[in-house]
Structure 1
Amino acid sequence: MQTHLADFIRNTPDGEEADAILRKCVHCGFCTATCPTYQLLGDELDGPRGRIYLIKQMVEGAPVTRSTQLHLDRCLTCRSCETTCPSGVQYGRLAEIGRQHVEATVPRPTGQRLVRRFLASFLPSSTLFAPAMRLGQAVRPFLPRKLRDKVPARQRLLEWPEANAAGSAGTHTRKMLLLAGCVQPAMLPNINIATARVLDALGIETVIEPEAGCCGAIRLHLGYRDEALDDARRNIDAWWPHVEAGVEAIVINASGCGATIKEYAHLLRGDPAYADKAQRITALARDVVEVLCGFETELAALARRRGVHTVAFHPPCTLQHGQQIRGKVEQLLGALGIEVRLPADSHLCCGSAGTYSIMQPALAYTLRDRKVESLNALEPQMIVSANVGCIAHLQSGTATPVGHWIELVEHLLYG
């Protein structure tokens, strides 16, 4: 695709990247077949090819309108189109460039600005989010349905392994950092505890650095790029002493966070103080399945059948498209004696997509209902996924138990 960049973006890092991505696109249209919003709306501008054309127009200097903003807002950034694209178009990065320009150009209505600002300030802050979630869980039966959908029932907590107990010096020589996350410790805390317990069974201590916080994904996708980069820098500063001490990996059990942390090197490539450190962090970042897939034999020897033998797996977009990790969860669970069933639409988004289910509820819940129907059709005992947002979103639409696959592994090991 030919491009002629406008002066405002020519010879800038974003301009050079947008130009390179746009020139790869041949407008073949293969991406439209796997775009959830195009399938729902049937509008070319609500598919990757149309959105790419809108971004091409804006970087070439065409006026940016509220209509352009709306079509980009409707994008889930699921990146299914990237997996489909035969030309290797990095649509996700192009979409972020387009959104940055739209946010700087098209004023939003006051209501939208306030909601987006609230979400960008509230969700990444554990000091604000955690007490609010506890209060919501306490009064959950009395909440309106839409709000109740956002508040998972309170979990009965697992016990942290002894190596993670307060005051413990740790008994394992192998150590890995674990990202606690911003909303996950309050919403579904057993995901982190189960991860630590499974790694502990393998002789690995998980280290949670309290100064590390939100990965930056929430603010990045809401258009607060500078704040998202500050999130990344804070995490790098918090983790760096552990990196210098020789931790083996940074383990992430929320695939949305993993996809973002693996982009730190790209996001901070122009920051001379952080570029090299960000490269190192990106190199250390591992989804938990990338760590455990090397321990299948050991886990199989430790596992005991505990009643769950058939699950439906929903692979999050940030795992299969963002991180390009496919088949590993299924392989690991299979090695532990679990039959894993994938729905025919396993490549499609469930509609959670970070704050998307709040900002675009009609589309998000339509996608959720379709996904739940296809998962339940497999008649599983349990639905498992790999991202906290997907888990909460799916659970709000089905009576079938929904959890993180690492919780199932922990159950197989410990009961």
Structure 2
Amino acid sequence: MKTDLIPHYQDSPQGQDAEKILRSCVHCGFCNATCPTYQELNDERDGPRGRIYLIKQLLEGGEVTEKTRTHLDRCLTCRSCETTCPSGVKYGRLIDFGRAEIEKKLDRPLNQQFIRWALRRVLPYPQRFGPLLKAGQVLRPIMPEAIKTKIPPKRQLNSPWPAKRHGREMLALAGCVQPGSAANTNIATARVLDKLGITLLEEPNAGCCGAVSYHLGAHDEGLDFMRRNIDAWWPAVEAGVEAIVMTASGCGAMLQDYGYALRYDANYAEKAAKISELTKDISEVLHAEDLTLLSINIRESSGKVAVHCPCTLQHAMQQNDVVEGILQRVGIELTRTKDKHLCCGSAGTYSLLQPEMSQKLLSNKLEALTGGEPDRIVTSNVGCQLHLESKAKVPVQHWIELLDR
């Protein structure tokens, strides 16, 4: 793609990076075939190719309007287009850049500003999100149906976190939403790894991965979260931990991009690249282990299982079908699903900011997942878990819990 950037972006390293991504696009349109919003709206501007042109217009000094922002806002950042693209266009990085630049140029209506501010002030902080969630769970019976479905039920905690007792050690990210809404996920992960001779540790000073702020266009705020996590983990990294194990693929995709996000930070670039290198989804970790050590018999108790592979796991972290392989290895019966590449509509804060599109995609995904009449649905990301659970007629949980038996 031919470009003619204005001097402001020609002289900016970030602008030059965006131009490289633009130039790699060959206009083929294969991306539209796998874009959820294009499939629903059939509007070129609501597909990757059209959004690339809108960002190109921004970089070349063209007019940027509310319509421009609307089409970029509708993007899920699912990155299905990246899997499809024959030219390797790094669309996810480009859309993040474009959104951040538009935030600098256009003031949002006050109601939108407040919602986004509130999301950035609550979701990344477990000490704020947790109490609000508990209050919502208490008041859930009297809530309007539209709100009630978004509040996850209380869950009974599994057995305690296993004691540190192995030479092999890995780090886990507690995250921000997961401790309050699905705390069993990391507990189950620690227990499974313990059976495999691996100690899983959580660093209490590590917090939000930065994705909430970063994907909402508040890049500096997101980068600060990243730096704090790097500082928290660095002593353990220097001590030789094997990996940073991710149980929320949305966070995992962000961590694997730390090296790119902080590439121009002289103090953190090298460390950030190391963090990205160490980051692995729990499915990638278990794929390389001897699962016979788990000594479990879970075929009957699990029933038939439908696997939902989040966009961040299959398109960003490139771990498609790994979970299915692990579950089949331990004897779990999987049902057939369809349209695995399409997003469930959760996409971080998308379900809150774009509810109409999000609900359409949720209905499509549940239909695709339940055609084989599963007894439960499993996934690899807390946001997807809560979103699917809001309308599913069968239990929804993280797949690692099936191995904690």
Q: TM-score, normalised by structure 2?
A: 0.98
The aligned residue for residue 318 of structure 2 is 324
Separation of aligned partners in 1, 2:220 and 2:210: 10
- Superposition deviation, residue 375 in structure 1: 1.1
Contact 2:343 2:361 in 1 (8 A): yes
Separation of aligned partners in 2, 1:309 and 1:295: 24
**Cα deviation code 1:299-343 (max 9, x no counterpart):** 564444442242111100000001111111111000011122342
The aligned residue for residue 191 of structure 1 is 185
Separation of aligned partners in 2, 1:21 and 1:404: 34
Secondary structure class of the residue paired with 2:231: helix
1:53 lines up with 2:53 in the alignment: yes
Where does structure 1 lack aligned partners over 5 or more consecutive residues?
164-169
The aligned residue for residue 71 of structure 2 is 71
Contact 1:382 1:400 in 2 (8 A): yes
The aligned residue for residue 102 of structure 2 is 102
Secondary structure class of the residue paired with 1:62: coil
The aligned residue for residue 225 of structure 1 is 219
- Superposition deviation, residue 296 in structure 1: 4.2
> Runs of at least 4 residues of structure 1 off by over 3 A?
299-306
1:335 lines up with 2:329 in the alignment: yes
The aligned residue for residue 159 of structure 1 is 159
The aligned residue for residue 166 of structure 1 is none
1:387 lines up with 2:381 in the alignment: yes
The aligned residue for residue 113 of structure 2 is 113
The aligned residue for residue 131 of structure 2 is 131
Secondary structure class of the residue paired with 2:397: strand
Separation of aligned partners in 1, 2:350 and 2:293: 36
- Superposition deviation, residue 348 in structure 1: 0.2
Q: TM-score, normalised by structure 1?
A: 0.95
Matches within 5 A, 1:240-279: 240-279=234-273
- Superposition deviation, residue 280 in structure 1: 1.0
Between 1:141-150 and 1:256-265, the stretch displaced more is 141-150
1:311 lines up with 2:305 in the alignment: yes
The one-letter amino acid paired with 2:316 is G
The one-letter amino acid paired with 2:121 is S
Where does structure 2 lack aligned partners over 5 or more consecutive residues?
none
Separation of aligned partners in 1, 2:328 and 2:294: 10
Contact 1:391 1:403 in 2 (8 A): yes
The one-letter amino acid paired with 1:354 is G
Contact 2:298 2:332 in 1 (8 A): no
- Superposition deviation, residue 11 in structure 1: 2.5
Contact 2:337 2:370 in 1 (8 A): no
The aligned residue for residue 92 of structure 2 is 92
The aligned residue for residue 346 of structure 1 is 340
Separation of aligned partners in 2, 1:334 and 1:300: 14
Secondary structure class of the residue paired with 1:295: coil
Count how many residue pairs are aligned between Structure 1 and Structure 2: 405
- Superposition deviation, residue 12 in structure 1: 1.4
Secondary structure class of the residue paired with 1:251: strand
2:286 aligned to which of 286, 292, 300: 292
Contact 1:309 1:337 in 2 (8 A): no
Alpha-carbon spacing, 1:349–1:299, altered in 2? closer, same or farther (3 Å):
farther
- Superposition deviation, residue 160 in structure 1: 2.0
The percentage of aligned residue pairs carrying the same residue is 54
